[in-house]
Structure 1
Amino acid sequence: MNIIRLCHDTKQNDVIIGKMEPVPKALVDDHAGIQALSQFTTPKQTLNTLLQSSNLPNSNKLVRYETRRIKEVYQTVLRLNWPQEFAITGLGRKKVDSERAAAALACVQLQKLGVLQTDGSPSNGTTTKNPSAIKQHLQKNSLPEFVQLPKDLKQRILTLHTSQEESLEEGHNGMRFMDEFDPRLEEERIRTTDIITGRELQEVSEESLESTQERILSLLENNCVVVLCGETGCGKTTQVPQFILDSYLEKREGAKCNIVVTQPRRISAISVAERVTVERGERIGDTVGYQVRLKSHLPHPNGCILYCTTGILLKKLQSNPTLEGISHIVVDEVHERDINIDFLLVLLKSALRSNPNLTLLLMSASINAEMFSRYFDGCPLISVPGRMYQVQEYFLPEVMDRLQEAGIRHHRQSVNLGDEAEKPETDHDLVVDVVKYLDQVKPPGAILVFLPGWQDIKTVNDRLRNTLRKDGEARYIFPVHSSIPLSEQQQIFQRPPEGRRKIVLATNIAETSITIDDVVYVVNTGSHKEQRYKMNLGVSCLDLFWVSKANIIQRKGRAGRCQPGECYHLFKHETFEMLDSYEMPEILRVPLEQIVIMSKVHGPHLPAVEFLSQALQPPAQRSVEKAVSELQELDILDKQENLTLLGKRISHIGTEPRLAKALVMSTIFR
């Protein structure tokens, strides 16, 4: 068999026939491969079409791809058994690129053999038309197919058929039965509206993130800041950073592209990095890596994507305030507006003024986009549609009706739950009853339950296990919380064996970034734990509050990421109408002592009031001054608002300043 290896010669670009040899590094950008791809832009499809038109038996087995990695290059050997047996090698920086290169070079070879035309269509005479075979095929397909049914299934079909005939003969429900197949009524049934947004529900759009790829890249090339508002399911977290990196690789400027993508939580950073690694056919740490507290797999520095938590990037800014060596910063899920994200935006705005080579991309599924655009001097906005499937919603009265229809009695007066109360309640028994209803009545599919905090998760977990103890092996119950080890949390992404249902109990950690792709049912309590400062007590307390409308939409969307789903809200629709549109930023509801210390680390020469006045929504001046006064009393700041020696120690401890001081003093007076 002839082995054709692509070689780049300075004198000629001929294909040389000989033995396979190790791939030199210079072959990565081979001229012949690029030339072949410019002629055959969809080589694999062209090759498959040609083989199918040959009418040869097992045409799908005539071609075989064998790919291996050699240092930073992928080498694909394409073996073709028609019209003559040969093999050809393609190279690329990614597996998909090397396969395309091999297929394109094979198309060139087939063109030389006279079986493929210049435009990629089969040459005349390539396909064989046998009239008798065609006639025999048509006659065979026109005959009915006979299948053998199991006895129990056959009996059930006969019983259903007999009962339906009797019903039609007696005139009962005859018209209703026929209505089920009336296409006009079906059209009316499908034309429903989203009960939350009021917009008409549409079929899953064929338009994807790829359709706006060129526009996204164009905006990033011509602007230093871009705001991307992508609906749930559009793939912005995994795809956009790859678009950016691949565009640089195509221009042969990959070493200039170093992207840092921030995620609000550790599990998000790790799971997304691993997903992107799989998509690129690489190992974690090649061009894609992650860095979170106490755990990291860093990629190589020239041409890479690093997923990290917001806190990690804040640490990097301490030693590299202008972010030299980084080409793009992508801040994902900016709608969460925790205190770290708002503080990060202040620092990034300063870094953009000092580093003209830096580009910032803000991304979220639910975002007040105009506010972010105004903050960054009117930067451009782009909206990306998502592959959102239809999600049927049920509010509390409908949920109670369905439980009653299923014969599940809920003993608490839950009809009052979700009234116009200032603070929500969590009815653990109701949550258990709804999960029990879904498990008993609904088809297979994972159940995702949103609960306010860890204590609620423990309570529901215990009660579910007691309730389902008789058939406990048929369910997998996974609690998800930041206090649980990452290795255990990552089990939620694994699909259970057939016939077993997965139940995930989570806080708002499951609202964004992470996708549990087999979730079909969402149970939403509508509340979460939030830290707020109580002026009368002078302390910050973690308490139960209603979530915002944006949070509700995010939670509902978890059921419609990969298939149609259902969402059960354990509160009334009237309560939803009273909710705030967006969450209150953390910087406006918590004590500011820790953020003032951070401002002194990053801007030591600016008064705290002036530094924090640059925030997207600045805290009240009175609150900042009170925080400064508290820190001066603790000897963390001096009279000129400079960090003392104690303050510099405490700045490295990411906890409440009083507790941090106690830790430092305990090491001295132990």
Structure 2
Amino acid sequence: RKMLDAQRRWRGSREGQEWDAKRQQLPVVQIRAGLLAALADHDLVVVGGDTGCGKTTQACPLINCTAVPQFLLDAAIEAGQGGACSIVCTQPRRIAAISVADRVACERGEPAPGAAGARVGYHVRLDAASTRDTRLLFCTTGILLRRLASEPQLASVSHVIVDEVHERTLQSDFLMALLKDILAKRRSRGHPLKVVLMSATLDSNLFARYYGDCPVLVAGGRTFPVEHHFLEDTYELTGCCSLSSPWSFHGLPSSSGACGCQAAGWGDDAADAGALNPHFDAERYANFSVSTRRNLARLDENRIDYDLLEELVAHIDGSYEEGAILVFLPGLGEIMAVYDRLTASRAHREGTLLVLPLHSSISPGEQRRVFERPPAHVRKVVLATNIAETSLTIEDVVYVVDSGKLKERRYDASRGMSLLVEDWVSRASALQRRGRAGRVRPGRCFGLYTRHRFEERMRNNSGGLMVSVQAPEMARVPLEELVLQIHLLGLGPAAQFLSKVLEPPPPRSVTGAVTQLQTIGALTPSEQLTPLGRNLAQLPVDAKVGKLLLLGASLGCLSPALTIAACLSYKSPFSAPFEQQDAAMRAKQAFGSGNVASGQQSDHLLMVAAFDGWMAASAQGGRQTAGAFARKHMLSAQTLEMLADMRQQFAAMLADIGFVAAPKGALSRGRGGKGGAGAAHWVKAVLCAALYPNAAVMDEAAGRSARPAWNDGTADVHIHPSSINHPLEAHQFLRPYLVYLEKVRTSRTFLRDCTVVSPMALLLFGGELAVVHEGGYALIDNWIRIRASAPTAVLVKQLRAALDALLEKKVRSNL
């Protein structure tokens, strides 16, 4: 009754009536009655529709989410069941969960999430704002999956809403499979759970079939017409010339930096040169200018032309009426490259251009800035990845510039290798991006791809073409973390459970994940969780990173382990433009004395030294001194701040599972407060234990004064050029063994982030150990040979057994 009275008072207020008037304009309002009726008769409903229809929040063009959660909460309150209602709405990204919760609380006249009496809250990794009064919780998908470990049937939840299911993330596909079983069990016990799946694309029937042809409701999008300009149109509008750009096949040097072809000075000879773009068809562009045809003929379509992009933003700013510009780019590196260019422009210096990055790595406070309207006569430019494609809507966007690219990690299970690939977006994504320009009034989309690519070459998935939809994440990423979750939840053999998901992953990916987990000691040969595996399953990180954290805590070197784990989970703090890679290497080498990385030939310890130096500078002189330290050593201050947050988060997770007593005490630098070579050797031993079997041995045929090749037991590999160990010649290496996090295939197979380790570390923490008495050596996993006398090898084997027993005792004590 109290909730109903509060709701009526709000709706009767002037502000509440204004919000209600806005809601009535949303297309999704038309399906409100149908949704409630469908949920009365069925336990699951799919709501499909275009972005802007109001599926997740209900009201605002600010955030691409709509009324569905509020429909359910309002209906429960009106029926006198508000106190028993508990709605969980998942979002694939932290920023979306926080932003939607803030907005819904505002729409409902509620206190801010987390405040006393607030019925709307959020919960994301590293941040939560909910109370005992919360009835509508927005959270990331991972948070709900963690909750299932302690509440397998979600008994305290009345409704689950899974938003953005069309993105097909690994976690959302896993959650949908779990919900399918939970729905049946809750129904059989007379306590049904109600589930709503929301998709922003027209593939809703795929999800409906998975749930036995459940009801599908379609809400039309509320969008305005968007004029779609393609690459050839952009050349015509801007007069930009790609011949002077490094992003053309021609590769001719730029003379003045001007973008116009006439200014660049290229004449008919260049125009008449043969086409180097294999996709160029002169007849297709017969109605375009000579300049545009020449650009298209010489263009490398697979590379982003930053000169053109910069010129296009200037063209929009100078030629069209007010409205924000949203630029879609593949990743943070591209965002920063464009950010640097635009912030160096005259318009930015004069204060008429406001450039804002939008990426999951920036702070929530910085992320919120993109939703604020700029002052009068200031053009806002938002540089974003696909985070702005469907999860978020920026209210004042009228112009979209789409690079047509995205970055995604793909995993080759047969080679145990990850590849970070930049590729064309799917056709569905291109349409989603275009739709961002038509939310509040007619808009324009400038695609940096040709009309031919958009209409013809995006229909299949080969040869660098656009595709109709992206492959599900479960089909292209390592599955170790997922397999651990399956066993933590007691769902049976991984292959058996994963055969029941919406689109099962390749069998070899599942087999590879199980084998990898058995190798590191997380699963038994019969695929049961070991004590180590049970602890790893409670840490939402890669299995090897989790093992690094657990062993670091067990062996007294948690602080450096936290730093290394954060770097491996996010990225190295070292950052430099491509043209300054030599200077970047010198900056890394400058950390080679007077700290934990001194003489250790370890990328991982180098990260620890860099972070510790930055922390010391911050403690000494605050943010300004820390910033100066970062610039001097070519470090990213933004990355270092993120790493600091992640270290705190990892320490808190270890405390949550009882592995450390007090996170703050574990964050001091060094091993047990001590630094130097002793700490370094401990950390390298922990790295060896955590990263094995990712080990490599120097090729014995390497010349003494040459950079050596390495072998990982299956093939030749090479140290990545970004590694501190890359410039070393064979005779300079302390030992002929190293461990690494992952292999990456580009022009060759490279080992990223490697550390040289001692033979004793491999003997104590490597794989299966066999002593070859007559040969005078020990053999690890039948391929790593280490010279050792028979008595020494036997003693090592006994020591290893004792050490394994001690570590297992430590791990068991925390269960």
TM-score (norm 2): 0.56
Is 1:230 equivalent to 2:15 in the alignment? no
Could you tell me how far apart the structure 2 residues matched to 1:585 and 1:476 are?
A: 36
Is 1:349 equivalent to 2:180 in the alignment? yes
Counterpart for residue 119 of structure 2: 287
Change (3 A) 1:634 1:500: same
Of residues 311, 321, 324, the one that matches 1:443 is 321
Contact 1:531/1:541, CA 8 A, preserved across alignment: yes
Kindly state the Cα deviation for residue 538 of structure 1 after the two structures are TM-superposed: 2.3
Contact 2:240/2:308, CA 8 A, preserved across alignment: no
Counterpart for residue 593 of structure 1: 480
Change (3 A) 1:589 1:507: same
Counterpart for residue 508 of structure 2: 622
Kindly state the Cα deviation for residue 472 of structure 1 after the two structures are TM-superposed: 3.5
Kindly state the Cα deviation for residue 618 of structure 1 after the two structures are TM-superposed: 0.6
Counterpart for residue 578 of structure 1: 457
After superposition, residues 529-548 of structure 1 pair within 5 angstroms as 529-535=407-413, 537-548=415-426
Of residues 128, 142, 160, the one that matches 1:329 is 160
Larger Rg: 1
Larger relative contact order, structure 1 or 2 (CA cutoff 8 Å, min sep 6): 1
Question: Which amino acid in 1 is paired with 2:311?
Answer: D
Question: Which amino acid in 2 is paired with 1:318?
Answer: A
Could you tell me how far apart the structure 2 residues matched to 1:299 and 1:553 are?
A: 39
Change (3 A) 1:455 1:354: same
Contact 1:588/1:619, CA 8 A, preserved across alignment: yes
Is 1:248 equivalent to 2:76 in the alignment? yes
CA RMSD of superposed structures (Å)? 2.7
SS where residue 556 of structure 1 aligns?
helix
Q: Which moved more, 1:502-511 or 1:588-597?
A: 588-597
Is 1:379 equivalent to 2:211 in the alignment? no
Counterpart for residue 555 of structure 1: 433
Counterpart for residue 398 of structure 2: 520
Change (3 A) 1:423 1:654: farther
Counterpart for residue 11 of structure 2: 97
Could you tell me how far apart the structure 2 residues matched to 1:422 and 1:301 are?
A: 57
1:320-372, Cα deviation, whole Å (9 max, x unpaired) = 11111211100000011111111111111111111122011000111421211
Question: Which amino acid in 2 is paired with 1:578?
Answer: R
Counterpart for residue 357 of structure 2: 479
After superposition, residues 26-425 of structure 1 pair within 5 angstroms as 92-99=6-13, 208-238=27-57, 239-285=67-113, 286-301=118-133, 304-356=135-187, 357-404=192-239, 409=260, 419=279, 424-425=302-303
1:545-584, Cα deviation, whole Å (9 max, x unpaired) = 1111111111111111111110000001221232221110
Could you tell me how far apart the structure 1 residues matched to 2:153 and 2:133 are?
A: 17
SS where residue 497 of structure 1 aligns?
coil
Kindly state the Cα deviation for residue 383 of structure 1 after the two structures are TM-superposed: 0.5
Counterpart for residue 611 of structure 1: 497
Could you tell me how far apart the structure 1 residues matched to 2:278 and 2:308 are?
A: 13
SS where residue 440 of structure 2 aligns?
coil
Change (3 A) 1:466 1:97: closer
Q: Which moved more, 1:651-660 or 1:538-547?
A: 651-660
Could you tell me how far apart the structure 1 residues matched to 2:435 and 2:476 are?
A: 27
Change (3 A) 1:666 1:451: same
Could you tell me how far apart the structure 2 residues matched to 1:422 and 1:465 are?
A: 26
Of residues 385, 396, 402, the one that matches 1:507 is 385
Change (3 A) 1:311 1:207: closer
Could you tell me how far apart the structure 1 residues matched to 2:230 and 2:329 are?
A: 16
Counterpart for residue 598 of structure 2: none
Kindly state the Cα deviation for residue 214 of structure 1 after the two structures are TM-superposed: 0.6
SS where residue 599 of structure 1 aligns?
helix
1:398-446, Cα deviation, whole Å (9 max, x unpaired) = 0100001999527799997894999832222221111111111111110
Could you tell me how far apart the structure 1 residues matched to 2:128 and 2:78 are?
A: 28
Q: Which moved more, 1:424-433 or 1:498-507?
A: 424-433
Could you tell me how far apart the structure 2 residues matched to 1:350 and 1:608 are?
A: 15
Change (3 A) 1:492 1:210: same
Kindly state the Cα deviation for residue 208 of structure 1 after the two structures are TM-superposed: 2.0
Could you tell me how far apart the structure 2 residues matched to 1:535 and 1:300 are?
A: 45
SS where residue 390 of structure 2 aligns?
coil
Change (3 A) 1:439 1:460: same
Counterpart for residue 136 of structure 1: none
Could you tell me how far apart the structure 2 residues matched to 1:309 and 1:570 are?
A: 32
Kindly state the Cα deviation for residue 603 of structure 1 after the two structures are TM-superposed: 2.3
Kindly state the Cα deviation for residue 256 of structure 1 after the two structures are TM-superposed: 2.3
Contact 2:240/2:311, CA 8 A, preserved across alignment: no
Question: Which amino acid in 1 is paired with 2:457?
Answer: M
Change (3 A) 1:323 1:536: closer
SS where residue 542 of structure 1 aligns?
strand
Q: Between Structure 1 and Structure 2, how many residues are aligned?
A: 480
Contact 2:277/2:300, CA 8 A, preserved across alignment: no
SS where residue 239 of structure 2 aligns?
helix
Could you tell me how far apart the structure 2 residues matched to 1:429 and 1:232 are?
A: 31
Change (3 A) 1:439 1:408: farther
Kindly state the Cα deviation for residue 653 of structure 1 after the two structures are TM-superposed: 2.2
Could you tell me how far apart the structure 2 residues matched to 1:641 and 1:483 are?
A: 36
Could you tell me how far apart the structure 1 residues matched to 2:487 and 2:75 are?
A: 39
SS where residue 355 of structure 1 aligns?
helix
Contact 1:603/1:611, CA 8 A, preserved across alignment: no
Kindly state the Cα deviation for residue 655 of structure 1 after the two structures are TM-superposed: 2.0
Question: Which amino acid in 2 is paired with 1:582?
Answer: V
Contact 1:418/1:424, CA 8 A, preserved across alignment: no
Could you tell me how far apart the structure 2 residues matched to 1:313 and 1:423 are?
A: 41
SS where residue 527 of structure 2 aligns?
coil
Segments of structure 1 that go 5 or more residues without pairing to the other structure are 1-25, 29-71, 74-90, 104-204
Kindly state the Cα deviation for residue 231 of structure 1 after the two structures are TM-superposed: 1.5
Contact 1:478/1:504, CA 8 A, preserved across alignment: yes
Could you tell me how far apart the structure 2 residues matched to 1:366 and 1:321 are?
A: 30
Counterpart for residue 770 of structure 2: none
Is 1:432 equivalent to 2:432 in the alignment? no
Kindly state the Cα deviation for residue 284 of structure 1 after the two structures are TM-superposed: 2.2
Could you tell me how far apart the structure 1 residues matched to 2:131 and 2:56 are?
A: 18
| Matched-pair identity in % | 41
Kindly state the Cα deviation for residue 306 of structure 1 after the two structures are TM-superposed: 0.7
Change (3 A) 1:536 1:599: closer
Contact 1:390/1:560, CA 8 A, preserved across alignment: yes
Kindly state the Cα deviation for residue 301 of structure 1 after the two structures are TM-superposed: 4.3
Question: Which amino acid in 2 is paired with 1:297?
Answer: A
Kindly state the Cα deviation for residue 386 of structure 1 after the two structures are TM-superposed: 1.6
Could you tell me how far apart the structure 2 residues matched to 1:383 and 1:391 are?
A: 22
Contact 2:89/2:163, CA 8 A, preserved across alignment: yes
Counterpart for residue 491 of structure 1: 369
Could you tell me how far apart the structure 1 residues matched to 2:504 and 2:457 are?
A: 25
